[in-house]
Amino acid sequence: MNSETQFLEIPGGRIAYDDTGGSGPLVIAAPGMGDTRGSYRYLSLFLKKAGLRVVTFDLRGIGESSVDWDDYSDAAVASDYLSLLDHLGLPSAIFIGNSKTASSVVIAATDNPNRVSGLVLLAPFAREVPIKWWQRLLFSVMLSGPWGRITWVSYYKKKLYPGNKPKDHEEYVDALAKNLAQPGRFRAFKEQAKDSHSESGTRLDKVSQLGLIIMGTADPDFPDPKKEADALAKHMKADVLLVDDSGHYPQAYNPDKVSSAIIDFVKQVSTKKAEVIGS
């Protein structure tokens, strides 16, 4: 894990996070379920080089955050984004969510529109995605029993990263497997997996901020990745970036293309802010 890890104590436990520092526009990012903030290891470098301040944090129970929380829901993670923002002492930031945490970003943005200046959703589960009953059953069986952790890690390693993989993919997945083997961490992951994302789904039309949806065209978690991205964009009035041949983690697959889109998006948000202040 990162030697520069910092911790934020909040009711119920502590959240581990990294902060690149600097005075540039702030983005706060959380990973998908069963993953760590390390999924942003490449993207953070690109964004920092462009002058952005990047804060990435581990979800409750995973990575270096503490275990045994009472609440692992999308809404709870939304509150963690805002707690970090409070801790950093800044009025607003762009929130980035991947997979499950896209729902948390939508909840935070609609509950606190003045504090979330823009939304970037990577491979987003921002609503209930229609899947066949047998797929839900298969996923439930996959996570249950003593084989659950090993099965999840294998699925993560092989299915969620189709095609070309990051150069350190083997090492990263090995570290993730060891993390999830620590007491309480896989139980936390299974708690995270229970959320249906229905709450954020009811809020999509209420998002007032600029949004950017980034989806890999080879993402196996969606029946039709482009169709899902377009549907979310229509609700949120957001822009869409499709990353060819990328799986569920476009920020790790193609960080240069993803970072370029995010940097342009940050400029749009800053321009909108300036127009509002000047009006």
pTM: 0.94
- With tokens 């990328």, the residue in question is 246
- What pLDDT, on the 0 to 100 scale, is given for residue 144? 78
CA distance 215 to 219: 7
Q: Does domain 6-278 have CATH number 3.40.50.12140?
A: no
Q: Could you tell me the residue ranges of all domains in the chain?
A: 6-278
Per DSSP, the chain holds a count of helices (H) and strands (E) of 11, 8
E-state strands within 63-176: 93-98, 116-122
Judged by DSSP in three states, 14 sits in: strand
- What pLDDT, on the 0 to 100 scale, is given for residue 197? 93
Q: What is the DSSP string of 184-218?
A: THHHHHHHHTT---HHHHTTGGG--SEEEEEEETT
- What pLDDT, on the 0 to 100 scale, is given for residue 274? 75
- Series of mean pLDDT values for 10-residue runs along the chain (279 residues): 81 97 97 96 97 98 97 97 98 97 98 98 91 62 81 93 92 98 95 90 97 96 95 97 95 96 97 76
- What pLDDT, on the 0 to 100 scale, is given for residue 44? 97
